[in-house]
Copies of this chain bind each other. A is one copy, B any other.
Amino acid sequence: MVRIQSPDNPLVRRLRRMAESPRACREAQRTIAEGVHLVECVLAARVPISAVVVSESATATVRALAERAAEVGGVRIAELSRPLYDSLAPVEYGAGILVEIAFARPELPVGQAVDAVYLDGVQDPGNAGTLLRTAAGAGVRHVAASTGTAFLWAPKVLRAAMGAHFAVSIYEDVSADRLVAAFKAERLAADAGGGESLFAASWGVQPTVWMFGSEGRGLSDDASALAQRRMRIPIDGAVESLNVAAAAAVCLFEQRRRRERGTL
């Protein structure tokens, strides 16, 4: 183990750049996974580990996990003062353990008959992470995202997704027109404004690409034009719309229900 006190230490500087800038993660093809659950997911998924950091206040359990991660990664554990650790963690009260990992950027498939999700301008990292977690929980293993969506490998998105990153294939900088060739599936637009009732309409026999738009403006015109059907969650008039991650949970689990029950 090596103790680090200085904010100018090269490792600390490298990690801080990633903590502060999704672009730095994108360029380095590395990111930060923080918290006990996420580090356990990293180990279970055999993701390459290039640094292991603990806070000076980490418990014995957390340190034991760090030792496992360090052994797998072939690196030494870096122990940081609490303020220094906190400056790198994507959440306010971090668990005291984080690892630097490399991630893959797979190519879009061609003509696959599988379920997928398309995120079009979902900017909030918490929403994007929750959406990834929900997609994985609903059995959807392919998530594509537009350039205007939060960078899905950013530390905050990783934290919110709680390990879902390692269960789905993530495609970024995908313009909506590329979905057509990639997925042999019906493109369904979630639309707060109108369309067929999610519950009453017949859908979901074929694989689907569910398309979710930005929190404020919904789907872009480009994405909207490529949707084959517009689907509406029948919400009570008390509110105008749902949070995008909540809307996605309703749509993707209605799909799961239909598949499970055979009520198509």
**A181–B234 CA distance with the chains assembled, in angstroms:** 31
Give which listed residue, B199, B249, B260, contacts A250 with CB less than 8 A: B249
Bound state CA distance, A200 and B260, in angstroms? Answer: 9
Chain A residues with a Cβ closer than 8 Å to the other chain, count = 40
The minimal Cβ–Cβ distance linking A112 to chain B, given in whole angstroms, is: 18
Given the interface pairs A126-B126, A246-B246, A249-B249, the reply to whether A236 lies near B133 with Cβ below 8 Å is no
For A211-244 the 0/1 string (1 means CB < 8 A from B) is 0000000000000000000000111101111110
- B residues within 8 A CB of A137? 233, 235-236, 238-239, 241-242, 246
Chain B residues positioned under 8 Å from A141 (CB to CB)? 238
Known contacts A233-B253, A250-B250; is A163 also within 8 Å of B239 by CB? yes
Q: Which residues of B contact A162 (CB under 8 A)?
A: 239-241, 243
Whether B261 pairs with A199 at a CB distance below 8 angstroms is yes
Q: How far is the CB of A71 from chain B (nearest CB, A)?
A: 24
Q: Which chain A residues in 121-175 approach chain B with CB under 8 Å? A: 126, 130, 133-134, 136-139, 141, 160, 162-164, 167-168
Q: What would be 18 A-B contacts, judged by CB atoms less than 8 Å apart? A: A37-B240, A133-B239, A133-B243, A133-B246, A134-B243, A134-B246, A137-B239, A137-B246, A162-B239, A162-B240, A162-B243, A168-B238, A199-B256, A199-B260, A200-B261, A234-B256, A243-B245, A253-B254
